[in-house]
Amino acid sequence: MRLAVAALILPSVWPFVGFSECRAAEIPQGTHALLRLVNSVTTRTARAGDYVYLRTAIPIVADGQIVVPAESYVQGVVSHATRSGRVKGRAELGIRIETLTLASGKVVQIAPHLASSDAEGTSQKVNDEHQIQQGSGVAEDAARVATIGGTGAAVGGLADRSWKGAGIGGGAGAAVGLASVLLMRGHEVELRQGSTIDVVFDRPVKVD
């Protein structure tokens, strides 16, 4: 009797057991992955088509299981790089993530979008087009003009010993400050070796 019951149960259970054990692991849609730069990238020298090498900074986990271990290799490419302008125009860097190399050696095609990046002590951040853009330098430029203008005023006042001399010196200093601002480029986008970026998967990716 027991053998007959087992014969009836096993056929119905076995397909589910087999499906659970053989189910392909995948990175679900919406998963975040923290990647660490192996090489530095900056808009000062980067060109479209340059390779970007990264590693997973922490494991990628799905359903409580590690599907991609930490230190897995990731490769991307610079999609475009725009230097900061002297008068206007902010630096901008686009990175397209393309492949993930698993521990088995298998290479998987991926295409997550950039969500955030290290600021590197500047105001650079990821914009709505998922590209890294440097922030405005208006406040810094104004401070530079004010500083040089103040120095000019002090020098003019000392030389002429009058408020008139200070006014002339301040005007000349402000002009010099403005000229120096116009001649200098703003900050470039820079991702140093070891800095991190956060990417998000727009669709599920099978990894085995």
In this structure, are 63 and 35 located in the same domain? yes
Same structural domain for residues 131 and 51? yes
Indicate whether 144 and 168 sit together in one domain: yes
Same domain membership, residue 198 and residue 156 = no
Q: What is the pTM of this model?
A: 0.68
| Count of structural domains within the chain | 2
- The sign of the torsion formed by the CA atoms of 198, 99, 47, 89 equals negative
- For 58-79, the pLDDT digits (tens) are 999 999 999 999 999 999 999 9
For 130-157, b where at least 16 C-beta lie within 10 A, e where not — what string?
bbbbbbebeeebeebbeebbbebbebbb
pLDDT tens for each residue of 86-118: 555 799 999 999 999 998 999 999 999 999 999
What are the residue ranges in the chain where pLDDT is below 50?
Answer: 1, 3, 5-22, 138-145, 148-149, 152-153, 174, 177-182
92 and 169 within one domain: no
